[in-house]
Structure 1
Amino acid sequence: MPMHMQLVAITLDCPDPLVLAAFYEQATGLELHPKSDADFAGLKGEHGLSIGFQRVDDYRAPSWPDQEVPQQLHICFKIEGDLEEAEARLLKLGAGKPNHQPHGDKARVLTEPVGHPFCIIRR
């Protein structure tokens, strides 16, 4: 019989956990965990799922879409409302927008401030 496992956290490597946590805090509205510090920061997620950010010395950003430095992780977020408005808000917060957009009008691939790609998808 398979063991039941519940996903409770996703942790991203980064050069500055508090800076990256602040980006995701503003982007998602999730709250910063009170024990966050310069080596590890976390956001308290919905339904028990948290996002963590851990300091890595000599961090190398993913080079998506090429794989010279693999993407390592890809997160997708469903959004309410207009995709273009959500994209503009995230770009203003510090996200980047790669030229390669494989999903047409259904979704956007963006990169957060340290280079991890993520998608926003209309709900």
Structure 2
Amino acid sequence: MRYLRLPVGAGALVEFDVNQGDAEPVTLYEGRVESMLLSDLGPLDSPTRLYGYVWTTGAQVIIRYYEARPPNSAARVPICAVVRMAKGQMRKLPGSPPGIAVLKYSRGGVFIVDKFL
């Protein structure tokens, strides 16, 4: 994160799945995801694309990002970021089938971390 000068804890707003913008509720599938920054994250301007992985096992969804591709750039840069939302807002809605998570909101906060736990 030193390369981008992003301190741990820096955050922004992200659309979880670019293919489902503003969909509420949103359906996320276990596996790779392409998301989009809705606000700037340090030197990463909106609408930078974020590439990561969604885990749907358990009561809450986990989204981690490994790469970012700024607008008008073909180059991807490594990042280490996670989605976090308060008050259980990453909790799957009842009836979400295995491997799929239905969430009330399609957007949330993405935050830089120093490593994944």
Asked if TM exceeds 0.5, the reply is no
The structure that is helix-richer by fraction is 1
TM-score range, shorter chain: under 0.3
Rg larger for: 1
TM-score (norm 2): 0.25
